[in-house]
Structure 1
């Protein structure tokens, strides 16, 4: 293991490749597998305690998400995004989130808004306890859920594809305490707007949230 890598990677149940994909995904998001680096299959297979079959199935899943690149006869590598890649994806995603916020307020049921509130409150609990990865994963779930409230399958599909490619970028966007606090403040405003069914306000906040992400990450890509 490299310095700073998690000490416990062993998977107890080895039958599902999505468990392996989840572990590798976390290593990429947290930066233990760096952008542009080659994936050492033999090393990870041993550390994760799995056979090569579920491991390679997991790699195909992550390649479909855009997190890795599989190169025939040369192995796999962690995808490295350029500044232009990140900016263009965040720019498009901001407008997708604007549309999602506006339409969610028009189409969500009261119970769905209550569920969004529950996700938000659980995120706050992780924020208060300083648990970045659980917060991050719930944050991704929150944004995906808001998009689903639009009842627009095309929007959900495109948003999901872009979010998958930006997992590492979104994670490092909250690496500084003040940035994380600002992101939480944005989410407080999002929930207020959603509860009030103010679609214009929610869409604007969500788009601004993505614009701020670019400002936080542009100098560390």
Structure 2
């Protein structure tokens, strides 16, 4: 069990480094250095890297080891609509009574997002918590597994998205509209706003500099 937990911890740390840019986009993963920094041997690290490549967070490049994929607006254009439909389906497959019991907590989370925005703080973690709460009553584990496997691929884009205050404010307002629709018992309206909330943002022309993005 301890060995399994160790690999889980390694995976979490490598994922965090990809998402926050310590492992920059379009860069090769230096396995020797990374293993030394994490205090682990290369065997469990390589197994973790293979698993992350299977999930799309890294790319296995023959002869070059593992690469962090570049930030690509076209990829974002494929992922955002997919996550939107998967989350909307999860909400549709949750009873309205169960969803109604979440509304106060959803509002509190949205309030925390607004406070963080007012303070100039990073919002992607709070946004992730809000969406996790919304889906927490869905009883379909297969659908939830698909969502959990797909959403990490968006995390790097979300961190860029929420840098712009006007986009962050719009997202918070959409969250509040979703909650209000659930409170009114209008599931169709709630999922309409949810899909709109995940509507693919335009990253064309957006600078990804400072995150190691491919130019």
Residue in 1 aligned with 2:130?
Answer: 142
Q: Distance in 1 between matches of 2:20 and 2:39?
A: 20
Residue in 2 aligned with 1:8?
Answer: none
Residue in 1 aligned with 2:213?
Answer: none
Matching of residue 219 in structure 1 with residue 201 in structure 2:
no
Q: Residue 76 of structure 1: SS of its match in structure 2? A: strand
Preserved CA contact (<8 Å) 2:86 2:143: yes
Q: Distance in 2 between matches of 1:148 and 1:111?
A: 11
Preserved CA contact (<8 Å) 1:103 1:149: no
Residue in 1 aligned with 2:148?
Answer: 160
Preserved CA contact (<8 Å) 2:114 2:169: no
Match for 1:70 among 60, 72, 90? 60
Preserved CA contact (<8 Å) 1:101 1:200: no
Consecutive unaligned residues of structure 2, counting only runs of 5 or more, are: 209-215
For normalisation by structure 1, the TM-score amounts to 0.74
Match for 1:18 among 8, 29, 37? 8
Residues 61 and 120 (structure 1 numbering): CA distance in 2 closer, same or farther, change over 3 Å?
A: farther
Residues 109 and 99 (structure 1 numbering): CA distance in 2 closer, same or farther, change over 3 Å?
A: closer
- Residue 122 of structure 1 deviates from its aligned partner by 4.7
Preserved CA contact (<8 Å) 1:69 1:79: yes
- Residue 176 of structure 1 deviates from its aligned partner by 1.5
Aligned-CA RMSD value: 2.9
Alignment of 1:56-205 (within 5 A): 56-80=46-70, 82-104=72-94, 106=96, 108=98, 111-117=101-107, 119-124=109-114, 126-132=116-122, 135-205=123-193
- The structure, 1 or 2, with the larger RCO (C-alpha pairs under 8 Å, 6+ apart) is 2
Preserved CA contact (<8 Å) 2:178 2:193: yes
Residues 81 and 18 (structure 1 numbering): CA distance in 2 closer, same or farther, change over 3 Å?
A: same
